[in-house]
Structure 1
């Protein structure tokens, strides 16, 4: 059985914290307009910290991703480096195949690598991310997995692990191939993983230029040159896919990820992405409500070596809400009525809910911040008698 009372001091502190961040009470009645019209086949806007979907359209429709594929290529290379199987300065031999399919002779986006040369991994990563080089992507795929087909199998396994359930990769570049498909939602999952899992390599996505082999090429993500809050991620284009862009921006502690697929031009993908990001930053805000392991409450523990156990949340807790709505939040802790020792650290002892306008925004477990061992036999017996008298013995 759990208690379902609002702990007044907890709620007061909760709301006071939010109001101090969100501004004055006058903002409470802020109007949230309808989302902008976006000229794209599919699009999505999410908060990177909370996963809150702010806008979406055809977000689960499978579409060709073009060079957005290279986000997964770079993710796998970063993972190999993280696991110690690869180093930034390891040399990669550029095969004739990589040059023929993705080099200057291919007519596709290229890093202008020379065949049968050796190039450091980190240079190829820049070639993939900044120049969208097909030659660099194929060279890394061959170096990691032996050939591009085997690398595509690794890509699909990684997609499954990340929860990209509607994605199938056939190659490392995004070159049109039957069955090579993903969704706007899956791409947002991948973008979030890149940002969170490999922050050092994510910085490469914000670099505006990269010069290699006498060719100085600009990053195709025009938002990097137009909006200082934008720090990534990747563009893509084929005739089949149209012009695509996954973008991420951070402002006032809030990070958003936008995905647009199937726009009509290079400029259009930037303009439509900017619409999404501007709407999100203007009309929504993200708060870090609680830190993992911080005490939110104490509760009586029976039969333990101590009389109370500290309770909090297991993970950092973020919340995305419309701007000006903080004062309308209703937070409640539901804690087990009877807690008996022993209790292990992290053991679930209830749940925390946060409601706005009758919609539950958060429902997460409350856990023991500390372990509590059992008391001796007579102390446990005495607590059992008290529980029996109170009608709580079970």
Structure 2
């Protein structure tokens, strides 16, 4: 029979006389699909049709810029590197007629760093094609590279046919996948992510402004990207950080630039007001120091190797209940990370987390007589139920 050891994280508030945290329903969002996610935990705070496959328009450029940032991080590309502008990537390509452009020209030098800003800030379709051809040789080969990264990142309902997002029946993604992609950009490429909060960019004597208007209206917002085609409607992927909490919001298929901005603001305010990112256990935190049999020491610390961070209703952190269940007989040898039990975290009787309790220190086997003595003690304990 497993032994249960109960502990309370912080103060477990008594029910009587205590006001309970009330979390209202999420706001109504006028969009084809939306999702609000805690960037640290991946917890979905609110959503509607998060897995509906929809045309992303210029939100495609999040994946284009992810591939670009990855190539730089891997050392295969430099921001100072010069790029040849082809006729295909020229701003006067009829395919780009009426769409957003960086205004690059054949025969005029342009660097990867300039194209990076041209994609992120100016949303230039010409810039995406120049980057695609420079990295992969062709738009088709680059699209395949985008899909390989999508698969690796777990974007299970996305498929890319081009680098810019102009309509194609086989070019689609979802609100959930865009949130995952945005979290990866923020987590993996902080230097690149910093480009998303820049308010304007001038190239070829043309000054263009970041279309994410929340950057000018909410100081907590520091990215990411807008998108629009008549087929896709108006979309916005935004991220904001207030205190220790970062949220990612995705709205797709709204009716106007003002609508996408306002719906995003409503979602972000809801998430920050009613939820918090709670670090419940630190990496390497000890939970107990149980008896270890047949080892060079009689007791050893056990706990969690990695920090445990969860999204909770605001004000509920102190009411999380922690349960540690250890195996009956823990025996040496033990290596750091060996599982010796299970940790369960509950809130109001609902499961929040369950994972292994592990050895935090290695325990080598004891000598022959020490092991023999422990075997005798374990046998006696089994006879008398100790």
Tell me which interval the TM-score lies in, with the shorter structure as reference length.
over 0.9
Q: Distance in 2 between matches of 1:200 and 1:329?
A: 36
User: Which of 12, 15, 36 is residue 10 of structure 2 equivalent to?
Assistant: 15
Give the conservation status (yes or no) of the 8 Å contact 1:28–1:324.
no
Partner of residue 381, structure 2: 390
Q: Distance in 2 between matches of 1:119 and 1:321?
A: 47
- Asked if 1:150 corresponds to 2:141, the answer is yes
TM-fit CA distance, 1:210: 1.1
Give CA-to-partner distance per residue, 1:227-277, whole Å, 9 cap, x none: 000011111111111000111100011111100000001111010000100
TM-score (norm 2): 0.94
Mark the CA change 1:383 to 1:245 in structure 2 (over 3 Å): closer, same or farther: same
Partner of residue 287, structure 1: 278
TM-fit CA distance, 1:315: 2.0
Secondary structure of 2:355's match?
strand
User: Which of 15, 34, 45 is residue 43 of structure 1 equivalent to?
Assistant: 34
- Asked if 1:341 corresponds to 2:332, the answer is yes
Partner of residue 300, structure 1: 291
Structure 2's unaligned 5+ residue stretches are none
Partner of residue 316, structure 1: 307
1:214-233 equivalence runs, <5 A? 214-233=205-224
Mark the CA change 1:155 to 1:36 in structure 2 (over 3 Å): closer, same or farther: same
Q: Distance in 1 between matches of 2:236 and 2:347?
A: 33
Give the conservation status (yes or no) of the 8 Å contact 1:91–1:121.
yes
- Asked if 1:234 corresponds to 2:233, the answer is no
Q: Distance in 1 between matches of 2:18 and 2:56?
A: 40
Which is worse superposed, 107-116 or 375-384? 375-384
Give CA-to-partner distance per residue, 1:358-377, whole Å, 9 cap, x none: 21111122222222222222
Secondary structure of 1:136's match?
helix
- Asked if 1:185 corresponds to 2:176, the answer is yes
Give CA-to-partner distance per residue, 1:104-140, whole Å, 9 cap, x none: 9633111111123332212111111111111111111
1:1-394 equivalence runs, <5 A? 2-7=2-7, 11=8, 14-16=9-11, 28-100=19-91, 106-391=97-382
Q: Distance in 2 between matches of 1:312 and 1:203?
A: 36
TM-fit CA distance, 1:297: 2.3
TM-fit CA distance, 1:145: 0.8
Mark the CA change 1:104 to 1:155 in structure 2 (over 3 Å): closer, same or farther: closer
Q: Distance in 2 between matches of 1:241 and 1:130?
A: 20
Give the conservation status (yes or no) of the 8 Å contact 2:62–2:181.
yes
Q: Distance in 1 between matches of 2:153 and 2:346?
A: 29
Give CA-to-partner distance per residue, 1:333-378, whole Å, 9 cap, x none: 1222221111122222222211112211111222222222222222
Give the conservation status (yes or no) of the 8 Å contact 1:230–1:250.
yes
Which is worse superposed, 235-244 or 335-344? 335-344
Secondary structure of 2:341's match?
strand
TM-fit CA distance, 1:45: 0.5
Give the conservation status (yes or no) of the 8 Å contact 1:101–1:134.
no
Q: Distance in 1 between matches of 2:19 and 2:90?
A: 59
TM-fit CA distance, 1:73: 0.8
Aligned length: 382
TM-score (norm 1): 0.92
Q: Distance in 1 between matches of 2:256 and 2:193?
A: 26
Q: Distance in 2 between matches of 1:80 and 1:309?
A: 45
Give the conservation status (yes or no) of the 8 Å contact 1:103–1:111.
no
Q: Name the one with the larger helix percent.
A: 1
